[in-house]
Amino acid sequence: MDPRAGTLAQPQDLIDVDAVVGAYYDLSPDVDDPAQKVVFGTSGHRGSSLDHAFNEAHIIAITAAIVEYRRAQGTDGPLFIGRDTHALSLPAWQTAIEVLTAAGVQTYIDARDSYTPTPAVSQSILLHNGAATEAGVRTTGPELADGIVVTPSHNPPRDGGFKYNPPHGGPADSEATGWIADRANEILRSGVGHVERVPLKRALTAETTHRHDFLTAYVDDLASVLDLEAIRGAGVAIGADPLGGASVEYWGEIGERYGLDLTVVNPQVDPRWAFMTLDWDGKIRMDCSSPYAMASLVQKMTDPDATSTFDIATGNDADSDRHGIVTPDAGLMNPNHYLAVAIDYLYGGARPGWRPDAAIGKTLVSSSLIDRVGAGIGRRVEEVPVGFKWFVPGLLDGSVGFGGEESAGASFLRTNGGVWTTDKDGLLLALLASEILATTGMTPSQHHARLVEQYGESWYARVDAPASLEEKSALARLSPDQVTSTTLAGEEITAKLTTAPGNGAAIGGLKVTTENAWFAARPSGTENVYKIYAESFVSAEHLTQVQDEAKQVVSDALGG
C-alpha cells in the first residue's frame, strides 16, 4: 500500500501529455520483444507509447488486421468506432480512421466529435443488427455491423487501448483476437508502410465516413431497460462522477432527458487526471471500484459537513463500462456485494418480462454470495471464466438475464427480455442503484445487509504474487491432479477446478473450493505476477489462512 493512497495527485504524478503523444508517433516497436508485440488480453491490446507498446505502428497493423478479419467473416456492414478520454485515444482513433477509410469500410464516428462509452458502441452495433426488432439480433447474413473502442479502460493516463467488438456487440472471443493479433504482428514484422491510409482531413470527409449520434441513441433507449419513471417520481438525488471519462456528457443528458435530480459531480476532462486521488499503489487509475481512487466522491457522500447531499452517488471508469456505487450509510460498496444485491432485486420480481429460466451469469472469481442468492431465489447460476465475452451468447438469446464480473462490470436485459448490451455497462448499473432505492425505499448497501443476515457474511480479497513467465505458463496449464492437498484452511476440499462449471471452458488457472471458502489463482496477462482471489464465509482471519495456504498449494503444484 502506497502511503499516499487516497490523496490528491501531485504534479510529480502527472504525465507529460506531449511526451506521451509524441512517443506514439516517434517510437516504433521491436516485434522480437514480447513486451512490444500486439497482445490481446480480455479487453483488447493495451500498453504505453513510452514503452514501445502502443504506437502508431501498432494501431495501423491492428486496424489492417481487423479489416482483413471482418472481410473474411463476411462482415460487410458499418463499423462503429468510439474513443475515451485517455491522451492516446484520439491519435489512435485518427490512425484507425485513416486505415478504415483507405479500405473502404463504412465507418460511423461520433456526431459530436466527442467521447463514446463502450456500452454505447455495443448498443449501436446491436441496434443496427436488429436488437430492438421482434426478430432480434442477427449475427449472420449481409450488412452486419461491428465496432472498435479505443480505450485502455481504467488504466493509468500513460496507457492506450484498442478493442474489437464483432457483430454480437460484445468483446471478441479468443479465436478472433488471436487471429487479429497474429496477423497484426505479421504486418508489423513486414513493415506498416505498405498499409494504405487516407490523410485524416480527407478521411473525415470521405463518403464512407458517417456521423452517428451515439449519445441520443443510447439515452433515448434507456427507458427500455430501467424504471426511470420510478427514479424521477421518488425524487432520488443522484451524484454522478464520470471520473474524467467518456460518460461525462451522457450523465447530464440522462438527467435532463428523464427529469432526474441528477448532478454531474465533476464534469472536468483532463488527460493527466490531475483531479484524481491516487490508487492503492500510488498510481492514478480510474478504478471506480477502488476506495482510494474514489476517495473524493466517498468523502462528499459521507462527510456530514459536505455542502452537497445525494441519496446515491456513482462513479465510472474512463470508458464507462465499470460502475462504483456509493451510499450515505456505507460509503463505497464492494463490487461483489452490489452484484449480489442487483441480482436479488432483478430476479426477485423487478423484471417479470424475462424468461423464467434466465440464468444468473457470474465469473468464477466472483463472490459465492451470488451462488447462495441464486439458490435462494431458485435461479441457476452459470459460472464462467474471467472475461465478459463468456456472457455474450446468453445475453443475446435471453437465456442469461444478468452477467457480472467481480471487477465491477455488468449488464442485463431489457425489461421485455431482449438484449440491451453485450459489453459491460457502467451507466446502466449505476442507474440501477437509484431504481432499487426508488422502488424499495432501501439503499443497495441496506439490501446487502439483509442478504448477509439471510446467507451469511463473507470476506473477499485479491492479492498478487510474483511469477516468472514459465510459472505463469505452467499455472495456465494446471490439471486438478497436480493439487495434492486434501484440505484448505481446516476444511475438506470439495472441488479442484481448471474448467468453469458453467460452460466447461478452461479458466487458465485453478480454483479450489470448500464448504465455506474458496480460492482461485490465475496468471496476469500484463505483469509477471499471478492473482489469488479468495473468499471465506467464516472470518477475516480465516480468509488470511485461505490466502496463505493458496499460495502454498499453487507453489507445490508448480513444483516450487
Which residues belong to the active site?
153
Single-letter code of the amino acid located at 389: K
DSSP state of 496: E
Using the Cα atoms of residue 152, residue 157, residue 160 and residue 162 in order, give the sign of their dihedral. positive
Residues in the chain: 560
Cα angle 170, 171, 175; round to 5: 120
**DSSP-derived secondary structure for 108-156:** EEETTSS---HHHHHHHHHHHTTTTSTT----SSTT--EEEEE--TT--
Q: Is residue 402 within a helix (H) or strand (E), and if so which, with residue range?
A: strand 400-405
CA torsion 438-425-271-62 (nearest 10°) is 180
Dist CA 97 CA 81 (whole Å):
9
Which of 271, 269, 281 is CA-nearest to residue 16? 271
Is 250 in contact with 263 (CB distance < 8 Å)?
A: no
Grid coordinates standing for 55? 504506437
Cα angle 25, 147, 53; round to 5: 30
Which of 66, 40, 43, 67 is CA-nearest to residue 53? 40
Single-letter code of the amino acid located at 153: S
Beta strand pairing status for 146-150 and 159-165? antiparallel
Which of 174, 189, 160 is CA-nearest to residue 53? 160
Q: Which residue has the cell 513486414?
A: 190
Beta strand pairing status for 146-150 and 323-327? unpaired
Cα angle 424, 425, 431; round to 5: 150
Grid coordinates standing for 339? 452484484
**DSSP-derived secondary structure for 166-200:** -TTSS---HHHHHHHHHHHHHHHHH-GGGS----H
Grid coordinates standing for 396? 443475446
Dist CA 209 CA 104 (whole Å):
9
Q: Which residue has the cell 504506437?
A: 55
